[in-house]
Structure 1
Amino acid sequence: MKLAVLGLNHGFAFASEIKKMKGVTLSAVAGQGPLAERRAEMLDVPLYGDYKQLIEKCQLDGAIIALPNQLHKKAAFLCANKGIGVLIEKPIADTVADGEDITRFFHSHGVPLMVGHHRRFSKKINHLKALLSEGVIGELISVHMVWALAKDKRYFAQEWRVNNGGGPLLINGIHDLDNLRYVTNLEIESAYAVARHTIRGQKVEDSLTAILEAAGGVVIHYFLSDGVPSPWAYEMTMNENDKYPCYKEDCYHFYGEKGSLAFPSFRCYTYNEEQYGWEHRLVEKNYSPTDNNDPIKEELYHFIDVLAGKDQPAVPGEEGTRTLAVLEAIRKSVQEKSRITVRGGFNK
Structure 2
Amino acid sequence: MNKIRIAIAGAGTIGQAHIAVAQGSPDCTLSAIVDPSPAAVAVAKAAKVPLFTSLDELLATGRPDGVLLATPNHLHVPQALQCIEAGLPILLEKPIATTVAQGEQLLKVVNAIGAKVLIGHHRAHSPIMAKAKEVVQSGQLGQLVAVVGSATFFKPDDYFDSAPWRRELGAGPILINMIHEVHNLRMLCGDIVAVQAFASHATRGFAVEDSVAINLRFASGVLGSFMLSDTAACARSWEQTSQENKAYASYDDEDCYVISGTNGTLSVPTMRLKTHARPEDRSWWKEFEVGTVGMVREDPLKHQMAHFCAVIRGEAEPLVSARDGLENLRVTEAIANAAKTGQTIHLSQLGSEHVAARML
Give TM-score, length-normalised by structure 1: 0.91
1:302 is displaced (CA, Å) by 0.9
- Aligned-partner residue type, residue 260 of structure 1: T
2:340 equivalent among 315, 331, 335: 335
Matched pairs, number? 346
Q: How does 1:1-348 map to 2 (within 5 A)?
A: 1-7=4-10, 8-21=12-25, 24-31=28-35, 36-50=40-54, 53-54=57-58, 58-156=62-160, 157-184=162-189, 186-248=190-252, 249-273=254-278, 276-289=282-295, 291-343=296-348, 344=351, 345-347=354-356
Q: Higher mean Cα deviation, 278-287 or 332-341?
A: 278-287
- 1: CA distance between counterparts of 2:18 and 2:263? 41
Deviates more, 1:101-110 or 1:53-62: 53-62
Cα distance, 1:158 vs structure 2: 2.7
Tell me how far 1:322 sits from its aligned partner.
1.4
79 and 159 in structure 1: CA distance in 2 versus 1, 3 angstrom threshold? farther
State the AA in 2 paired with 1:27: S
Q: In 2, are the aligned partners of 1:211 and 1:222 still within 8 Å (CA)?
A: yes
Question: Structure 1: where are the runs of 5+ without partners?
Answer: none
Take 1:72 and 1:52, find their aligned partners in 2: how far apart are those partners? 15
SS at match of 2:177: helix
Question: Contact (CA 8 Å) 1:148, 1:227: kept in 2 or not?
Answer: yes
Report the 3-state secondary structure (helix = DSSP H, G, I; strand = E; otherwise coil) of the residue aligned with 2:291. Answer: strand
CA distance in 2, matches of 1:39, 1:155: 22
RMSD of aligned residue pairs (Cα, Å) = 2.3
Q: 1:166–1:49: structure 2 CA closer, same or farther, 3 Å change rule? A: farther
CA gap of 1:106–1:162, structure 2 versus 1, over 3 A, is farther
* Displacement of 1:173: 1.1
Displacement of 1:278: 3.9
- Relative to structure 1, the CA distance from residue 101 to residue 164 in structure 2 (aligned partners, 3 Å threshold; closer, same or farther) is farther
1:322 is paired with a residue whose SS is helix
Letter in 2 for 1:14: H
Equivalent pairs: percent with the same residue?
A: 33
Q: Deviations over 1:14-65 (max 9, x none)?
A: 1112223457442322346565444333212333455554455552321111
Q: Which amino acid aligns with 2:265?
A: S
CA distance in 2 between counterparts of 1:91 and 1:239 reads 23
In the aligned structure 2, how far is the partner of 1:159 from the partner of 1:151? 13
Equivalent-residue separation in structure 1 for 2:63 and 2:15 (angstroms): 19
Aligned-residue offset at 1:67: 1.6
The one-letter amino acid of 1:288's match is G
> What letter corresponds to residue 3 of structure 1 in structure 2?
I
Cα deviation, residue 336, structure 1:
1.4
Distance 2:35 2:170 in 1: 18
> What is the CA distance between 1:71 and its match in structure 2?
1.6
Task: Report the more deviating stretch, 93-102 or 251-260.
Answer: 93-102
Q: C-alpha separation between the residues in 1 aligned to 2:126 and 2:178?
A: 17
Letter aligned with residue 218 of structure 1: V
Cα distance in 2 for partners of 1:150, 1:175 equals 17
Q: d(CA) in 2 for partners of 1:57 and 1:229?
A: 49
Q: SS where residue 134 of structure 2 aligns?
A: helix
TM norm structure 2: 0.88
8 Å contact 1:30–1:50 — kept in the other structure?
yes
Cα 1:51/1:149, change in 2 over 3 Å: farther
| Counterparts of 2:281 and 2:27, CA distance in 1 | 60
Contact 2:165 2:171 in 1 (8 A): yes
Structure 2 unaligned blocks of 5 or more: none
Distance 1:141 1:35 in 2: 50
> One-letter code of the match for 2:204?
R
Matched letter for residue 324 of structure 2:
E
